[in-house]
Amino acid sequence: MTRPAPFAPHLVGSAFLVRDREFHASTRSRLRAADVQRPFTAVRSLGLDLDDIVDRCRAYEPLLRTGEAFSHETAAALFRLPLPRTPELIHVLAPTGSVRARGRGVAGHVASVAPPVVAREGLTVVAAAVVWCQLAASLARDDLVALGDAIVTPRRRGEVRGSALASLRELRAAARAWGSRRGARLIAEALPLIRVGAESRRESHLRLVFVDEGLPEPTPNPGVTLAADTVVHPDLADLERRIAFEYLGDIHRTDRRRWQADLRRRRALAAAGWRVVEVTADDLGSKRAAFVAQLRGLLRGAA
């Protein structure tokens, strides 16, 4: 059996339109070979990981028309923001007055007002503050707050803080510009609950338990100075009562290094006289009532 002729090196790791024969210089039969991916109608790609959001967007990029940008859940995933589920569709926002994008695996939208856009992974993406408003129509309040927390919290790269995707001021400005469009009521409810500091969706959910139950709201990821000027950052902390709240997520089962680092932090806090409360998914779900009762007793005793 004759092996297909190899593609030119510049095509590997890229996507292209079938009709763009000047670019790919391949016959129709060659484009039907098993090593050629068919991510979208009229598009072929080579060597992309179509389970990865960045590569899926790169596979769609040849179909982007002038003025279009990735939006909604797709933009959130490109920003690596916490979502309750992995997006299945590619969301594309077309300019005002345009026809929305259509096709298999695509959710098209048309902008009522032209949003700011940014470059992310070399792709054109709606700005994060506007994406937060876009998702108010499809997320529950707690997840919308968690998304906002992640947007305004500077990213951590090792021990160094980078920059946030947007400031609280920018988020408020985006909310004002959103006006009365879909999700406006939830935006108004969620916006005052957003805080800088949370590093995971579940940390935000845990903080909201305190808010909803009328308990003293803990501070997300504060710097706590221990002996020998060691500074640690508990997930949440009641600084006045010296109580740290640590969420135990699935990453502690799969990432040994992270588990060991978090364990050392909890031990250091306990050795310095802090009370450390470990929290699991059940405490935020099926066992929430018992967990809240435990919190009330703990906070009352530490007052």
In terms of domains, do 177 and 210 share one? no
Return the exposure string of 120-137: e unless at least 16 CB atoms fall within 10 Å of the residue's CB, then b.
beebbbbbbbbbbbbbbe
Q: What is the pLDDT of residue 59?
A: 97
Res. 159: pLDDT tops 70: no
pLDDT for 4: 76
In this predicted structure, the answer to whether residue 135 has a pLDDT above a threshold of 60 is yes
- Domain shared by 138 and 232, yes or no: no
Same domain, 75 and 179: yes
Residue-level pLDDT at 127:
98
| Residue 192 shares a structural domain with residue 212 | no
pLDDT at 162: 79
- Domain around 20: 1-48
Q: Is 54 domain-assigned?
A: no
First vs last Cα of the chain: how many Å apart? 80
CA atoms of 31 and 224, how far apart (whole Å): 59
Of the listed ranges 149-163, 172-186, 265-279, the least confidently predicted one is: 149-163
Q: What is the mean pLDDT of the chain?
A: 92
Q: What is the mean pLDDT of residues 167-183?
A: 97
**Phi then psi dihedrals of residue 22, to 5 deg:** -60, -35
State yes or no: pLDDT of 199 exceeds 60: yes
- pLDDT bin (cut points 50, 70, 90) of residue 91 is very high
**Residue 33 domain-assigned (yes or no):** yes
Are 19 and 110 contained in the same domain?
A: no
Lowest mean pLDDT among 1-5, 28-32, 92-96, 260-264: 1-5
pLDDT class of 302 with cuts at 50, 70, 90: confident
pLDDT at 253: 60
* pLDDT score of 102 more than 60: yes
What pLDDT band is residue 157 in, cutting at 50, 70 and 90?
low
Residues 35 and 123 in one domain: no
Is residue 57 domain-resident?
no
pLDDT band at 8 (very low <50, low <70, confident <90, very high): confident
Q: Which of 87, 183, 196, 88 is nearest to 144 (CA)?
A: 183
Judgement on whether residues 148 and 205 belong to the same structural domain of the protein: no
Quote the pLDDT of residue 260: 87
Provide the pLDDT confidence category of residue 166 given band limits of 50, 70 and 90.
very high
Q: What CA–CA distance (Å, rounded) separates 221 from 234?
A: 5
d(CA 273, CA 206): 23
Q: Using alpha carbons only, what angle is made at residue 59 by residues 24 and 118, rounded to the nearest 5 degrees? A: 120
Question: Does one domain contain both 229 and 274?
Answer: yes
pLDDT in tens, 204-223: 999 999 999 999 999 999 99
Tokens 């500074």 identify what position?
231
Q: Which 3-state string (H, E, C) describes the chain? A: CCCCCCCCHHHCCEEEECCCHHHHCCCHHHHCCCCCECCCCCEEEECCCCCCHHHHHHHHHHHCCCCCEECHHHHHHHCCCCCCCCCCCEEEEECCCCCCCCCCCEEEEECCCCCCEEEECCEEEECHHHHHHHHHHCCCHHHHHHHHHHHHCCCEECCEECCCCCCHHHHHHHHHHHCCCCCHHHHHHHHHHCCCCCCCHHHHHHHHHHHHCCCCCCEECCCEECHHHCEECCCEEECCCCEEEEECCCHHHHCHHHHHHHHHHHHHHHHCCCEEEEECHHHHCCCHHHHHHHHHHHHHHHC
Q: Which of 238-242, 252-256, 259-263 has the lowest mean pLDDT?
A: 252-256
**Considering the domain boundaries, does residue 173 fall inside one?**
yes
Give dist(CA 82, CA 151) in Å, integer: 10
What is the C-alpha separation between 55 and 182, in angstroms, rounded?
Answer: 30
By CB atoms closer than 10 A (0-12, 13-18, 19+), residue 115 is buried
Residue 230: predicted pLDDT: 87
Same domain? 131 vs 114: yes
In sequence order, the 6+-apart residues with CB closer than 8 A to the CB of 86 are: 77
What percent of the chain is predicted at pLDDT more than 70?
95
pLDDT value at residue 42 = 95
In a domain, 55, yes or no: no
**Total domains, the chain:** 3
**Residue 64 pLDDT:** 97
- Tell me what pLDDT residue 121 has: 93
